[in-house]
């Protein structure tokens, strides 16, 4: 099992390129199920989750040709509308095939995604919405069995904001008979990127990016070409890595447009940020100021940046309160950060972080994707060496992370 060895080193400086967004690419790959014609994608990140999704789609009969960040998918011959437990248990986002399979094939058998480290992660809203569109759905032996001769447009209001729930229902509605209105829809930029891709395939969608999305079903979608948006969470992660080291970095092939909440907090922490058309530059002070935050659906502070910001608060000046409102168990990184000497108290969904002068390197364990990133950020400044175990979590969501960190001057290497 690979580990990552970090040595506290110089401040991060220099420039790297940001990859395509994992959480946009995953639903967009599933959109290929909606059309018999090829979908040509560019700027697809090379990540384990992306490879897993491609294997799942190939199992269903989608022909896929991948050349680096360029991926062409041909959904002409869908022979097997099934997502097996083996595939789904390693990647919950496999639930995103449910809506498209129902819309295109009239049936689907998808394993219920298990929970994961950060929470139970139910999919009741996905099922409720598809049932409102006329699908007959039963859950037996851990599988979702769904049938619908043709989905009908419906008005759906989800009980809470759900990103993949919104994406599943939006994709299903593209081929439904009539108009579907999704209220309380997720406004995340990745939902908008998916909608833009679907519209380029001939879907009729309005309101993506707001909390009411309208989709007029059409008989068929055609092929298209789409470039995946940059990864705002990867961008935020490297901004935090630079900030904790007092660094000066420039991130290319990305946009600040979707990171207002994160950039505001980094500026509150004392960073100087310059925004260019397709790049962001951050210059950090020798020591950051502690910054409190509360996670919430877009455009508020993203839950996927909570762990990374906790890491920079560990050595900032002052006390910060971090409130996690999206997932019930997204503080798995706290105990690991405390092994490095952090001073954190958890009180319900609040974590009180008291900045310390310095952290001490130690062996720590990654528990989930973004928790792994927070351990790397802390390990960049922890005195001595930090060894991070179970970094397969990292490889799910960060492309060539040790290479990009090394480009910025970090002393990091992968050890088995």
Interface residues with ligand EPZ (CB under 6 A) are 22-23, 26, 93, 119, 121-126, 160, 162-165, 303-304, 326-327, 369-370, 397
33 CB-near residues (< 8 Å, 6+ apart): 57, 60, 62, 75, 78, 97, 100, 101, 104
For the record, the structure tokens of 265 come out as: 């907090």
Complex with ligand EPZ: residue 11 or 333, whichever CB lies closer: 333
Tell the smallest beta-carbon distance from residue 401 to ligand EPZ (Å): 14
- Does the active-site annotation cover 116? yes
* Pick 71 or 290: Cβ nearer ligand EPZ: 71
57: Cα within 13 Å, side-chain hemisphere: 30
Torsion 235-237-240-242 (CA) sign = negative
Shortest Cβ distance from residue 367 to ligand EPZ (Å)? 12
Q: 188, 174, 225, 165: which is closest to 24 by C-alpha? A: 188
Name residues whose C-beta falls within 8 Å of residue 7's C-beta, 6 or more positions apart in sequence: 361, 384, 385, 386, 411, 412
Cis link prior to 333 (omega < 30° from 0)? no
Nearest to ligand EPZ of 195, 382 (CB atom): 195
Place of tokens 């707001």: 210
Rounded to a whole number of angstroms, the minimum distance from the CB of residue 49 to ligand EPZ is 8
Candidates 146, 152, 158; CA nearest to 134 is: 152
Quote the least distance from Cβ 112 to ligand EPZ, whole Å.
11
Judged by beta carbon, residue 221 or residue 326, the one nearer ligand EPZ is 326
φ and ψ at 225, to 5 degrees? -125, 135
Buried residues in 153-170 as b, exposed as e (16+ CB within 10 A): bbebebeebbbbbbbbbb
Supply the minimum distance, in Å, between the C-beta of residue 368 and ligand EPZ: 7
Nearer to ligand EPZ, 182 or 271 (CB): 182
Q: Which of 116, 197, 240, 271 is catalytic?
A: 116
Tell the burial category of 408 from Cβ atoms under 10 Å away from its Cβ (0-12, 13-18, 19+). buried
Smallest distance from ligand EPZ to CB 24, Å: 8
**Helix, strand, coil tally for the chain in percent (to 5):** 35, 30, 35
- Which one, 11 or 265, has the nearer CB to ligand EPZ? 265
* Tokens encoding 366: 């990654």
Backbone phi, psi, residue 118, to 5°: -95, -10
Residues annotated as part of the active site: 116
């Amino acid at each position: 099992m690979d580990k990552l060895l970090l040595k506290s080193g110089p401040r991060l400086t220099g420039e790297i390129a940001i990859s395509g967004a994992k959480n946009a690419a995953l639903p967009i790959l599933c959109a290929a199920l909606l059309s018999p014609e090829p979908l040509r994608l560019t700027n697809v990140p090379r990540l384990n989750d992306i490879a897993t999704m491609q294997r799942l789609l190939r199992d269903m009969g989608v022909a896929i040709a991948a050349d680096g960040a360029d991926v062409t998918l041909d959904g002409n011959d869908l022979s097997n509308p099934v997502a097996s437990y083996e595939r789904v248990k390693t990647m919950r986002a496999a639930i995103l095939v449910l809506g498209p399979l129902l819309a295109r094939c009239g049936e689907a058998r998808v394993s219920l995604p298990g929970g994961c480290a950060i929470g139970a992660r139910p999919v009741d809203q996905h099922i409720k919405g598809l049932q409102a569109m006329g699908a007959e759905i039963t859950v037996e032996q851990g599988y979702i069995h769904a049938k619908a001769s043709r989905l009908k447009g419906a008005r759906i209001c989800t009980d809470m904001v759900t990103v993949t729930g919104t994406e599943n229902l939006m994709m299903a509605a593209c081929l439904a008979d009539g108009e579907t209105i999704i209220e309380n829809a997720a406004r995340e930029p990745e939902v908008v990127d998916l909608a833009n891709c679907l519209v380029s395939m001939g879907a009729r969608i309005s309101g993506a990016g707001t909390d009411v999305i309208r989709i007029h079903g059409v008989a068929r979608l055609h092929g298209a070409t789409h470039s995946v948006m940059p990864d705002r969470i990867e961008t935020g992660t490297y901004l935090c890595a630079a900030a904790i080291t007092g660094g000066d970095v420039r991130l290319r092939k990305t946009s600040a447009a979707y990171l207002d909440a994160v950039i505001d907090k980094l500026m509150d922490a004392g960073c100087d940020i310059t925004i260019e058309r397709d790049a962001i530059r951050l210059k950090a002070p020798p020591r950051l100021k502690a910054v409190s935050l509360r996670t919430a659906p877009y455009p508020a502070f993203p839950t996927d940046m909570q762990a990374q910001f906790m890491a920079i608060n560990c050595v900032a000046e002052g006390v910060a309160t971090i409130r996690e409102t999206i997932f019930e168990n997204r503080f798995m990184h706290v105990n690991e950060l405390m092994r490095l000497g952090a001073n954190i108290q958890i009180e319900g969904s609040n974590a009180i972080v008291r900045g310390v002068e310095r952290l001490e390197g130690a062996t720590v364990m990654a528990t989930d994707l973004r928790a792994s990133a927070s351990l790397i950020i802390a390990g960049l400044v922890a005195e001595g060496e930090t060894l991070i175990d179970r970094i397969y979590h990292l490889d799910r969501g960060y492309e060539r992370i040790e290479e990009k960190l090394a480009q910025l001057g970090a002393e990091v290497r992968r050890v088995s």
